[in-house]
Amino acid sequence: MERRFACAADDLQPGSSLTVKGEPAVALFRNTAGEFFATADSCTHELWSLGEDSDLEGNEVLCPLHMARFDIQTGKPLCFPATVALQTYAVEVDDNGSVHVLVT
């Protein structure tokens, strides 16, 4: 398992996301409640970076390419055209406010 630094918690505003570079790339989301969740960066429908360009509403992320939605907590697809779940990853925020993703 790899514990990969993602960002400082204060650098990711609620309701937004970023891509954590590496192999595999990881999408880190922060919901409006301030909680962090991480999934595979690439939409499972076609190749599209959800960390770099998507819309987050609550715990649902919308892929703007063909409008698939996923639950960022479970990775499950919520509507077509996506039918395959996103891989999910654990997130840790340490005492210094650094956010890490745990990539298996």
Positions touching ligand FES (CB under 6 A) are 43, 45-46, 48, 63, 65-66, 68, 81-82
Kindly state the smallest distance separating residue 8's Cβ from ligand FES, in Å: 28
Residue 73's φ and ψ, nearest 5 degrees, are: -80, -40
* Beta carbons of 49 and 40 less than 8 angstroms apart: no
Q: Output 43 or 56, the one with its CB closest to ligand FES.
A: 43
Indicate the SS3 state at residue 18. Answer: strand
Kindly state the smallest distance separating residue 42's Cβ from ligand FES, in Å: 8
- CA dihedral in degrees (22, 16, 88, 80; nearest 10)? -110
Kindly state the smallest distance separating residue 46's Cβ from ligand FES, in Å: 4
Residues pairing with 37 in the sheet: 29
Q: Output 18 or 68, the one with its CB closest to ligand FES.
A: 68
